[in-house]
Structure 1
Amino acid sequence: MRVISGSAKGRPLKAVPGTGTRPTTDKVKEAIFSMIGPYFDGGQALDLFAGTGGLGIEALSRGMDKAVFVDLEYKSLEVVKSNLAATRLTEQAEVFKNDAQRALKALSKRDTQFDLVFLDPPYRMKNGDQLMLQMEELGLLANEAILVLEYESSYVYPEQFGNFECIRKTAYGETAVSIYSYDKSRDTQAVQDKEEEHHE
């Protein structure tokens, strides 16, 4: 595993020891960033099930200003810190040990909004959409935020729910990636459309 492009291009990334973590392969990572970037003009990123930190680090390398990394496993956080040091991106990162839902509640108290969110929960958890709705409820998403959801390809998430719409979807073997865009005016538009139908 390595950083594919940007300021830390080519730097190797450590993996988390053991088999509990499933790092995003370089091939999938490259595909994700060609869909959402490939480069960024600043912004805040959140890597919610950080693992090795590979996705958040790639986002920083490609121009994001700041990234928050969250993981529940102590050994994952050690690897994230080590990978941030190796890529010289420590100054632009914050690393927290917490579970996803608690982390979101804690982050909501800090008046931060994210432009880019990576959700790569363990495959047994099928709650990516609920976490996205929780982020919206807590005011953590900038308008037009992009959310990258990685999950088991045999599972199907809705194309559209609330103010989220799937704009790209792709599968690589047992891994699927859905890219959602968040637009808070989507709801208002739907209400207006309904009202217009009612008046016709």
Structure 2
Amino acid sequence: MRVISGEFRGRRLDAVSGDQTRPTADKVKESMFNMLGPYFDGGQVLDLYAGTGALGIEAVSRGMAHATAVDRQYAAIKTIRNNIDKLGAKDRFTVMKAPVEKALASLKGQQFDLIMADPPYAKQAVLTQLASFLALDLLTGNGRVMLETGLDVDYPEEIPGYIKLRHQTYGVAQVLILKKAVAHE
């Protein structure tokens, strides 16, 4: 597992020991970021179910100003911190050890340009979480959400508060990219 592009390109990242996490394959990660737009000009990213921290690290490497990585497992938090230490850019990352729902509630009042979620395939509640992002006002006006889920998640044709930008399938995973819908007044 490595950083694909940008400032930290080619840096190797540690995996979380054990079988509690499922890292995103490098090819899928590259495709995900190419769908979003390969590079960013600043902004805040929220990486939920962060595991190794690879998605947040990739976003910062490609130009995001700051990433907040959230995971509830001690082994994942330790791995995320080790991976961030390798980059020499600790000030560009915040690491939170908490269940996602608790972390989201504590982040109320902050806004993110990009929220990424790669939940455990067996415990996916992404539609509920999408509603929470809006209810807690966590997305900026042009905020985007990138979800990686199992194929068993059946997304409705329309998701309230969002515009679908891309939907792609990769083996046993699917990636959905959404943009916050702008309310017309």
TM-score scaled to structure 2, two decimals? 0.96
| Structure 1 consecutive aligned stretches of length 4 or more whose deviation exceeds 2 Å | none
Structure 2: gaps spanning 5 or more residues: none
Question: How many equivalent residue pairs?
Answer: 185
Partner of 2:107: helix, strand, or coil?
helix
Separation in structure 1 between the aligned mates of residue 181 and residue 73 of structure 2, nearest angstrom: 32
SS class of match (1:160): coil
Matched, 1:117 2:115: yes
Q: Superposition pairs for residues 135-146 of structure 1, below 5 Å?
A: 135-146=133-144
CA positional deviation for 1:49: 0.7
Deviations 1:102-122 (A, max 9, x none): 1011010xx310000111111
| Aligned AA (2:120) | P
Other structure's SS at 2:123 match: coil
What is the distance in 1 between the residues matched to 2:13 and 2:159? 35
CA distance in structure 2 between the aligned counterparts of 1:155 and 1:103, rounded to whole angstroms: 23
1:8·1:87 contact (CA, 8 Å) conserved in 2?
Answer: yes
Aligned-residue CA RMSD in angstroms? 1.1
Question: 2:52 is matched with which residue?
Answer: 52
Match of 1:184 in 2: 182
Does the CA-based 8 Å contact 1:44-1:114 persist in structure 2?
yes
Which residue matches 2:158?
160
The within-5 A match list for 1:1-200 is 1-108=1-108, 111-185=109-183, 188=184
- Could you tell me how far 1:155 is from its partner in structure 2? 2.5
Q: Tell me which structure has the larger Cα radius of gyration.
A: 1
Percent identity of equivalent pairs = 42
> What is the letter of the counterpart of residue 3 of structure 2?
V
Q: Secondary structure at the match of 2:110?
A: coil
Give the 3-state SS of the residue equivalent to 2:121 in structure 1. coil
* Structure number with higher helix proportion: 1
C-alpha separation in 1, matches of 2:104 and 2:153: 24
Normalising by the residue count of structure 1, what TM-score does the alignment of the two structures yield?
A: 0.89
1:106 corresponds to which letter in structure 2?
S
Return closer, same or farther for 1:84/1:159 CA change in 2, 3 Å cut-off.
Answer: farther
